[in-house]
Structure 1
Amino acid sequence: MRATTIHAPYDIRLEDVPDPTIDGPTDALVKVVASCICGSDLWPYRGENKVTPGRRIGHEFVGIVEEIGGDVRTVKPGDFVIAPFVVSDGTCPHCLAGYQTACQNMVGYGSDQADGGQGEYVKLPYADGTLVATPEVPDDSLVPSLLTLSDVMGTGWHAARAARVKAGDTVVVVGDGAVGLCGVLAAARMGAERVVAMSRHEPRQKLAAEFGATDIISERGDAARDAVLELTDGVGADAVLECVGTGQAMTTAFDVARAGATVGFVGVPHGVEAPIPTMFRRNVGLAGGAAPVRAYLPDLMADVLAGEINPGRVFDSELPLAEVAEGYKAMHERRAIKVLLRP
């Protein structure tokens, strides 16, 4: 089979690797229908995370179950399944509390126990605790939106939930990548009256507006803060979604939050420090982290299947798996919001 591997910064390859096989009772083997490139994949791609040469990469995919281990009960061969971005057992105390990304037996894709998601097949353990099957094999037009539920839509939803977005709120979303855009969609769906998207890129601004953004701010830094304060009569936002993971993004998030607001953060932190004095002085909270998308998946899947949301529109590029290196380059150069890959 073919699978994507990373060898060094900016060195992505599609290579032949051994075919995966079921070797444990909780395993499932999934034939990938579609996978994608995540913004967090760009951290090792750019050399900002350590690269292990030859490691399989990718953690978002949907596909058809081909084979299962003897203890698997919730999915069966022939099922179309959505795979959250981490493998969780579904039975530990953290999973039962709804925080599967803190599973005591969590497995990452691209490890010895689970194949990377950007390939033709994926073998993973803990199928019952991880995979979610659709009621029937969906129409191909729904695949992009169902694929977003493996990460970015659930992550945007987690940012809004952590920020305690409620009906009537003014919400600011920091970040215009796929997660930020899904955060706009989540905030609008939760009933926010005003959703302010921070974006400097016209295609992303357009999609943010179509997802429910009422205002667009293209400035950054102090100018962005001033623009939000002007929009809110000097008060600031009721809730802020930080969907980037950089120090500048976190600073902006706190700068635009009103007293008593909460910043929901889901950007993978790189060079970020919580501004404790500001939090204390203005009673601004900070909540969030690695999104437990498995907890949100059933409800969001129902919304997609009912046509209530269409988050798959964040995919503005679709490439065959053979061109995965170009997909990484396009996202790195911000020529694409998010790239969908077909085997």
Structure 2
Amino acid sequence: MRATVIHAPHDIRVEEVPDPTVRTSTDAVVRVLRACICGSDLWAYRGESARQPGQRIGHEFLGIVEEAGADVRLRKGDLVVAPFVWSDGTCDFCAEGLTTSCPQGGFWGSVGSDGGQGEAVRVPFADATLVKLPAEAAGDDRLLTALLALSDVMGTGHHAAVGAGVKRGSTVAVVGDGAVGLCAVLAAKRLGADRIIALGRHQARTDIAKLFGATDVVAERGEAAVDAVRELTRGQGARAVIEAVGTEQSMRTAVEITRDGGAIGYVGVPHGSGTGLDLGVMFDRNIALRGGVAPVRTYIPELLADILNGTIDPSPVFDRTVGIEGVPDGYRAMDERTALKVLVTL
């Protein structure tokens, strides 16, 4: 089958790889219908996170169950979406909803595992990992695209909003205009925020932020951005702040625009040498910090219901579509910021 592999920085290829097979009674093989490229994939593409030459890549997909182990309740032909981490569903962490800490779990595209940007994927612990979707969604391109966002970006944006303590009537500021930041805007709106300030410089992206519920846009960066947010919030800052980038500058901005007594929900994958955090400042101002890798499997059922009933539609974050052979071009487009998030159809 055809699948995406990474050989070196800026060297993404689509190659023939062995077809996946059921290895244990709890495995399933999923034929991929939709996959996509994540902003976090770009850190490997740029050489900022290590990968072995020839390693599979990609962690977001949905598709059709082609084969299932003897102990799997899902059946051949079921339409399913996969979170970006598989988990066994039986450990203490899974019981608590922290599926990303499952001792038997793992990430698609990790060493020795299938990546999501390919024609098929072997899924361990299929019943615990995969979420069944309505069969009729397979014939609705827009709905399939929206449902694909459940594999990562929509759940990650929701995790950030939960970490920031967003609730009805909140004033929220979102640092980052990538797909996760935009989904965090949508999540904050869904949770009842009254005012949502989106920080971003690219009009195509901030237009999506407005579509998703942003009431204000701040295009400045650094201290100018801090001043702008404080001007919008009577000098106090926002009580709930979402950090969706992962750089030292973005975290520093997040701290500086948070109201005393507020909270930062952080989901930007950290990279670079610094954190942007000054614990002394956070201590003095009673700022809470909550977040990390999002346990999206836990969030899928509630978010799925709202996508199906039309309450939310994250599909606009996908602004370019390629086939499997076009994945390398999709990486280049996202790296050059000519695409926000690339959808892969198979």
Match of 1:325 in 2: 328
Q: Is the 8 A contact 2:55 2:111 kept in 1?
A: no
- Separation in structure 2 between the aligned mates of residue 99 and residue 278 of structure 1, nearest angstrom: 29
Per-residue CA deviations over 1:69-123 (Å, capped at 9, x if unaligned) read 11112x2111100000011111110111001111111122124663100000001
TM-score, normalising length: structure 2: 0.97
% of aligned pairs identical? 58
Residue number in structure 1 paired with 2:118:
119
Distance 1:214 1:94 in 2: 37
For the 8 Å contact 1:113–1:124, the answer to whether it is kept is: no
Letter of the 1:77 partner, please give it.
Answer: K
Distance 1:278 1:289 in 2: 21
Deviations 1:179-238 (A, max 9, x none): 000000011111111100001001001110000000000001000000001001101001
Indicate the residue corresponding to 1:24 in structure 2: 24
Measured after TM superposition, the shift of residue 270 of structure 1 is 1.1
Which residue identity lines up with residue 95 of structure 1 in the other structure? Answer: C
RMSD over aligned Cα atoms: 1.0
Secondary structure (helix, strand or coil) at the match of 2:34 reads strand
Matches within 5 A, 1:237-248: 237-248=238-249
Deviation string 1:235-257 (CA, Å, 9 cap, x unpaired) is 10010000001111100000000
Determine the structure 2 residue equivalent to 1:280.
Answer: 283
Aligned counterparts of 1:22 and 1:90: Cα–Cα separation in 2: 19
Q: Residue 291 in 1 paired to residue 290 in 2? A: no
Residue type of the alignment partner of 1:285 = A
| Runs (4+) off by over 6 Å | none
One-letter amino acid of the structure 2 residue matched with residue 313 of structure 1: P
Aligned twin of 1:98: 97
Greater CA drift, 272-281 or 121-130: 272-281
Please tell me whether the aligned partners of residues 56 and 113 of structure 2 are also in contact (alpha carbons under 8 angstroms): no
CA contact (8 A) 1:27 1:124 kept: yes
Q: Deviations over 1:20-60 (max 9, x none)?
A: 11111110100000000000000010010112100000000
Letter in 1 for 2:326: E
Give matches, 1:1-343, under 5 Å: 1-73=1-73, 75-111=74-110, 114-138=113-137, 139-271=140-272, 272-273=274-275, 274-343=277-346
- TM-score in terms of structure 1 length: 0.98
Equivalences, count: 342
Return the alpha-carbon distance in structure 1 between the equivalents of residues 132 and 324 of structure 2.
24
Equivalent-residue separation in structure 2 for 1:306 and 1:67 (angstroms)? 30
Q: Which runs of 5+ in 1 are unaligned?
A: none
Any stretches of 5+ residues in structure 2 without a counterpart?
A: none
> Contact 2:57/2:108 (CA < 8 Å) preserved in 1?
yes
Query: SS in structure 1 opposite 2:333?
Result: helix
Distance, in Å, in 2 between the alignment partners of 1:22 and 1:113 is 15
* Mapped contact 1:79–1:137 kept (Cα < 8 A): no
What is the alpha-carbon distance in structure 1 between the residues aligned to residue 83 and residue 332 of structure 2? 24
